[in-house]
């Protein structure tokens, strides 16, 4: 069996199926999509790609299947799904998810169309696999789908450790070998074996701390918001097709932004890290419920209203309302005293983390540095922020 050297898992043996899949343009494309998009502007070493991450997930999927004793043909399907789980991502990954969902009505883990025919389907079929079955696994469906997308999936095990390795922030360094060894199926559900409440807690904590220091760092959020708005303006002001947009690489999107008059300034700013600054950065208590839960169209309307009130151009105001921090791992199931229990019922830490997540929530309004004073004042009025609360 051939092997690929990886900075995280060291030696990744590559089966024939994987070798054939890796050669496809759809997977080679992931070499040009960074795993952490704009995070590299805060942590300069974070230049790792979804390609190496996909190989890592493939590797952990094989180990998980071995550990669980999954039958050979099913295990092959799981490995294929693991390797392909990110082919549905647009340029800059999560940063363009919203655009793609709004314009194409599909989420990045909906890869039915991508796998239905064409070269990926050809390779899967030549190895005796059904593309539809693999697409279902990518979407987390069925018993084995939980390994690819779920609270205990190998995606998470890879990205936490990989992001820690490449940012230099140690918080993501979970004990993935222990997690893999603790996986069990109970009545079709993927659970952790007895004695692993702490193993589950540690994964939860790792993601919470990585959220706070890495994934939701304000500099990365600002650059991400700039990128998202520029992406929309690009689609609005050119004849670029949303499907073509979704298949771009990071570089091709940046090139397109540079070449389009409406987005050239943003492109230049992103390349030179000359970013907008925070005009507002405030917590849940100061923000009206209607703003917290505002949909995309309302947020755009807020931006226009703030720009009007501040007397600046519309593209100089960005309102960034994160959703409430999710905590999918809180429903992880762990065996305790012979019974399957939800982590949230077993560990008081889950409630603590949930509260910490709410405490860390921040609304951001961003503007060019020289426009910060007026945009801040206008945003306070338009959004009805109450800083005394």
CB nearer a second copy, residue 13 or residue 314: 13
Measured distance CA(134)–CA(298) in Å, rounded: 37
Count Cβ neighbours within 10 Å for each residue of 229-246 and write b for 16 or more, e otherwise: bbbbbbbeeeebeeeebb
User: Which residue bears the tokens 């599909």?
Assistant: 106
Other beta carbons less than 10 A from residue 346's beta carbon: 16
- The 8 Å CB, 24+ separation contacts for 134-138 are 134/77, 134/80, 134/81, 134/84, 135/81, 135/111, 137/77, 137/78, 137/80, 137/81, 138/81, 138/84, 138/85, 138/88, 138/109, 138/111
| Shortest distance in whole angstroms from residue 254 CB to a second copy | 7
Number of residues that bind a second copy (CB under 8 A): 65
Measured distance CA(127)–CA(350) in Å, rounded: 43
Measured distance CA(78)–CA(118) in Å, rounded: 20
CB nearer a second copy, residue 64 or residue 317: 64
| Shortest distance in whole angstroms from residue 120 CB to a second copy | 14
CB nearer a second copy, residue 1 or residue 297: 1
Measured distance CA(3)–CA(22) in Å, rounded: 12
Binding mask 31-70 for a second copy (x = CB under 8 A): xx-------x--xxxxxxx-xx--x---------------
Q: Running DSSP on this structure, what letter comes out for residue 3?
A: E
Record the tokens describing residue 279, joined without a space.
């005009």
Among 75, 347, 362, 375, interactor with a second copy by CB under 8 A? 347
Binding mask 163-202 for a second copy (x = CB under 8 A): --xxxxxxx-xxx-xx--x----------------x--xx
**Coil/strand/helix, residue 92:** coil
Q: Binding of a second copy at residue 338 (CB under 8 A)?
A: no
Among 69, 105, 323, 348, interactor with a second copy by CB under 8 A? 348
Rounded alpha-carbon distances, angstroms, from residue 57 to 54, 63, 214: 5, 10, 21
Which range touches a second copy (CB under 8 A), out of 27-35, 111-119, 224-232, 327-335? 27-35
Q: Binding of a second copy at residue 11 (CB under 8 A)?
A: yes
Which range touches a second copy (CB under 8 A), out of 91-99, 114-122, 268-276, 364-372? 268-276
Which range touches a second copy (CB under 8 A), out of 221-229, 323-331, 353-361, 373-381? 353-361
Question: Would you tell me which residues interact with a second copy (CB under 8 A)?
Answer: 3-8, 10-11, 13, 23, 25, 28-29, 31-32, 40, 43-49, 51-52, 55, 165-171, 173-175, 177-178, 181, 198, 201-202, 205, 209, 212-213, 249, 251-252, 254-255, 271-273, 347-353, 355-356, 358-359
């Amino acid at each position: 069996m051939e092997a690929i050297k990886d900075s995280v898992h060291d030696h990744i043996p590559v089966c024939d199926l994987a070798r054939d899949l890796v050669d496809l343009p759809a997977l080679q494309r992931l070499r040009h999509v960074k795993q952490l998009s704009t995070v590299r502007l805060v942590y300069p070493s974070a230049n790792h790609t979804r390609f190496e991450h996909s190989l890592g997930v493939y590797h952990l999927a094989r180990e998980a299947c071995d550990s669980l004793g999954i039958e050979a043909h099913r295990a092959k399907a799981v490995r294929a799904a693991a390797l392909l789980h990110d082919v549905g991502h647009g340029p800059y990954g999560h940063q363009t998810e919203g655009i793609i969902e709004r314009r194409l009505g599909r989420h990045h883990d909906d890869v039915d169309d991508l796998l239905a025919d064409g070269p990926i389907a050809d390779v899967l079929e030549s190895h005796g696999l059904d593309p539809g079955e693999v697409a279902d696994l990518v979407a987390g469906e069925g018993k084995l789908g939980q390994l690819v997308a779920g609270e205990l999936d190998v995606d998470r095990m890879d990205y936490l450790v990989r992001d820690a390795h490449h940012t230099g922030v140690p918080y993501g360094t979970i004990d993935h070998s222990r997690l893999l060894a603790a996986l069990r199926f109970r009545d079709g559900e993927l659970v952790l074996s007895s004695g692993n409440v702490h193993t589950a807690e540690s994964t939860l904590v790792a993601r919470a701390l990585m959220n706070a220091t890495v994934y939701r760092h304000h500099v990365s959020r600002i650059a991400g918001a700039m990128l998202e708005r520029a992406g929309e303006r690009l689609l609005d002001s050119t004849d670029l097709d949303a499907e073509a947009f979704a298949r771009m690489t990071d570089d091709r999107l940046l090139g397109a932004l540079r070449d389009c008059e409406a987005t050239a300034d943003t492109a230049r700013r992103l390349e030179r890290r000359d970013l907008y600054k925070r005009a507002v950065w405030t917590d849940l208590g100061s923000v009206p419920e209607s703003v917290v839960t505002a949909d995309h169209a309302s947020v755009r309307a807020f931006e226009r209203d703030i720009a009007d009130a501040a007397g600046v151009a519309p593209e100089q105001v960005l309102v960034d309302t994160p959703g409430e921090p999710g905590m999918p791992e809180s429903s992880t199931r762990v065996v305790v005293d012979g019974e399957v229990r939800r982590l949230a019922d077993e560990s008081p830490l889950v409630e603590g983390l949930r509260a910490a997540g709410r405490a860390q929530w921040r609304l951001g309004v961003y503007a060019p540095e020289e426009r910060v004073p007026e945009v801040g004042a206008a945003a306070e009025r338009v959004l009805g922020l109450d800083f005394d609360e």
